[in-house]
Structure 1
Amino acid sequence: MPMPRNQQICVEDTPYYHCVSRCVRRAYLCGEDAATGVSYEHRREWVENRLLFLAGVFSIDVCAYAVMSNHLHVVLHINTEKAESWSFREVLERWHKIHKGTHFTRQYTAGENLPKSAMEFVEASVKVYRKRLTDISWFMRELNEPIARKANVEDNCTGHFWEGRFKSQALLDEAALIACMAYVDLNPLRSNISNAPEESDFTSIKRRVEAAKIKTQPKNLFPFVGHPREDMPSGLPFKLVDYLELVDMTGRIIRKDKQGVIDAPCLSILQRLNIPSETWLCIAAHFEILTGRLVGHEQSIDCYCQVHQRHRKPNREQIKLLA
């Protein structure tokens, strides 16, 4: 039996999660159906636009994403501190971007004076909405349901478009995070959809490369802020240039489909994260296959199991990848 989602996602364990949604009934999210010749490429834009829109509504940051032919990868970061800093009005205005809210919440945001009983109702609503805006299940629901409805209208059919549950993996440490992000960003290369990361349409890596050319970072993606340090701003704990070099070098080797080596500039980030260079390519190419619900160094997984009093640990061979 699948574990309840509220037990799989816990910000006290880690704020980072890898989520995957897959289509059912041979449905095409994007790409071209070889059997009918019908192209669904325009749906990639639906997904990317919706994803980046939600990143500006929720207190959930998008670290990486890749829109594939029949599935979607996203790496998300739950930002509870940001959500707690929002005023009542900001919470309601954000929620009203995706739902109508209630009569009282709409009155409040319009600046109308409300009686005490109505304000109590508004306060209760804000509490619920604030929690939802940091909930990955709500984020994935708001991403997937509109896409499913539009696709079903276009396909002139009804029923499920996505599998019932999205898959989630807890990324317990920096090594797991960077390995998963690289895996997601390199998805189009492994599938022979593109020849280079910067040519991979509707992916986070392409947006990051294009922004880097003008010495900036994409507005709706979680920024790279450098190595962990005191008074560190909110962002990914890596240098952008290190990550781009690592993905570029890994992509070149994967695209050539042959054993290769990681050069010195990329090796430094792997050494800091204690990831053996000889196993990095295996992780980046087969992350989803070789990992389970929990991903991280052995000590990170041991700590998780101890805190949650879980005796059944992931496959030991999976752990060795980041040992």
Structure 2
Amino acid sequence: MPRPRRTQISIEDTPYYHCCSRVVRRAYLCGNDSFSGKNYDHRRRWVESLLMKLEGVFAIDVAAFAVMSNHLHVILRVDVDSANNWTDREVLQQWHQIFKGDDLTHRFVKGEIVTSEEVPILKHVVATYRSRLCDISWFMRCLNEPIARQANQEDNCTGRFWEGRFKSQALLDEAALLTCMAYVDLNPIRAKMSDTPEQSDHTSIQLRIKAAMKGEQPKSLLPFSGNERNNNFKEIPFSVKDYLRLVEETGRIIRHGKHGVISEKSTQLLSKMCIPSDNWLKLTTEFGRLFRGPVGTLEELTCYCEHLEKRRRHFSRCCLLLTTG
């Protein structure tokens, strides 16, 4: 039975969450439909464009994403501090980028006089919007609903386009984040949609590779800090160069008919994250099957369950793969 989202989100334990949405009917989100002969690749641009827009509106950062033929992966970081630091006017300005608002909110944003009777109403509205702008459920709602309406209009049909709810799982530590990011970025290669990460269209790894060639990082994606966890997990706590090397080498191994090994430098990154190199290929190819709930060390998983008042540590056996050989 589906669990309420509040029983899966614990910002106290981690701001990082892996979300996945899957289409419910036979029609493709993107790619070629062998039954009808139609191509839906243009829908991938819809998703990526809207995803980047929402990243600039919400107090939520995008760490990784991949738009596949019938599902979407995205790794999000909730930035509650940024939302709390916005002024009331800034909150409404952010909200008005995606929703119409009402006469009261627009008058306040313009600097017009608000009566004393309207102040409590305005305060309540601002508090509600501030909370929503750092809420994963609202982020995914604002991503999935417009895509569903646009796809239904194109297909000349009605009804559900996505499954009832998106799936989300907490990434409780650096090892879980590194593993899940690699899993998401390597999705097109595992699905044989592309041969290399740089050829994987509409993915975060392609954006990162293009930016790295200029010595930059994409402004629309959460940056790498290049350091260990010394920034309260506010940036991805490892080097972008090390990460791109690890993903490229892993992709070469996964790709059918190709051979390769994980280099010593990539092995050092895994060792720094305490991930056994012998488990790495299994983790990055079977992540979706292995982990159906929160991902992290047993210690982190225990704290997470205690904070959410869970009686059992579900999927704890799979979490051992992150720390044991």
The TM-score with structure 2 as length reference comes to: 0.96
Q: Does 1:311 align with 2:311?
A: yes
Residue 298 of structure 2: aligned partner:
298
Q: Given residue 99 of structure 2, which amino acid in structure 1 is its aligned partner?
A: H
Map 1:42-191 onto structure 2 (within 5 A).
42-191=42-191
Q: Given residue 173 of structure 1, which amino acid in structure 2 is its aligned partner?
A: D
Q: Sort the Cα spacing of 1:172 and 1:147 in 2 relative to 1 into closer, same or farther, 3 A.
A: same
Query: C-alpha deviations, 1:119-150, integer Å up to 9, x for none?
Result: 22221111000000000000000000000000
Q: Sort the Cα spacing of 1:231 and 1:70 in 2 relative to 1 into closer, same or farther, 3 A.
A: closer
Checking the alignment, whether the CA contact within 8 Å between 1:225 and 1:233 is kept in structure 2 is: no
Bigger CA drift: 288-297 or 111-120? 111-120
Q: Does 1:263 align with 2:263?
A: yes
Alignment gaps of 5+ in structure 1? none
1:270 is paired with a residue whose SS is: helix
Q: Sort the Cα spacing of 1:316 and 1:87 in 2 relative to 1 into closer, same or farther, 3 A.
A: closer
2-structure distance, mates of 1:288, 1:322: 14
**CA-CA distance at 1:259 after TM superposition:** 7.4
Residue 236 of structure 1: aligned partner:
236
**CA-CA distance at 1:68 after TM superposition:** 0.4
The TM-score with structure 1 as length reference comes to: 0.96
**CA-CA distance at 1:185 after TM superposition:** 0.3
Residue 193 of structure 1: aligned partner:
193
Checking the alignment, whether the CA contact within 8 Å between 1:246 and 1:266 is kept in structure 2 is: yes
2-structure distance, mates of 1:231, 1:283: 26
2:280 is paired with a residue whose SS is: helix
Q: Sort the Cα spacing of 1:301 and 1:259 in 2 relative to 1 into closer, same or farther, 3 A.
A: farther
**CA-CA distance at 1:232 after TM superposition:** 6.8
Bigger CA drift: 226-235 or 262-271? 226-235
Residue 214 of structure 1: aligned partner:
214
**CA-CA distance at 1:230 after TM superposition:** 4.7
Q: Sort the Cα spacing of 1:26 and 1:265 in 2 relative to 1 into closer, same or farther, 3 A.
A: same
Query: C-alpha deviations, 1:257-296, integer Å up to 9, x for none?
Result: 6775311010111001110001001101111111121101
Residue 225 of structure 1: aligned partner:
225
Q: Sort the Cα spacing of 1:147 and 1:281 in 2 relative to 1 into closer, same or farther, 3 A.
A: same
Query: C-alpha deviations, 1:4-54, integer Å up to 9, x for none?
Result: 111111211210000000001112110110011101110000000000000
2:30 is paired with a residue whose SS is: coil
Checking the alignment, whether the CA contact within 8 Å between 1:8 and 1:170 is kept in structure 2 is: yes
2-structure distance, mates of 1:309, 1:231: 28
Checking the alignment, whether the CA contact within 8 Å between 2:217 and 2:223 is kept in structure 1 is: yes
Query: C-alpha deviations, 1:160-197, integer Å up to 9, x for none?
Result: 00000100011011000010000000000000000100
2:121 is paired with a residue whose SS is: helix
**CA-CA distance at 1:118 after TM superposition:** 1.7
Checking the alignment, whether the CA contact within 8 Å between 2:200 and 2:206 is kept in structure 1 is: yes
1-structure distance, mates of 2:182, 2:107: 46
2-structure distance, mates of 1:306, 1:36: 50
1-structure distance, mates of 2:102, 2:31: 39
Q: Given residue 296 of structure 1, which amino acid in structure 2 is its aligned partner?
A: G
2-structure distance, mates of 1:238, 1:126: 36
1-structure distance, mates of 2:210, 2:119: 46
1-structure distance, mates of 2:61, 2:28: 26
1:77 is paired with a residue whose SS is: strand
Checking the alignment, whether the CA contact within 8 Å between 1:298 and 1:322 is kept in structure 2 is: no
2-structure distance, mates of 1:276, 1:233: 22
Q: Given residue 144 of structure 1, which amino acid in structure 2 is its aligned partner?
A: N
Alignment gaps of 5+ in structure 2? none
1-structure distance, mates of 2:15, 2:316: 24
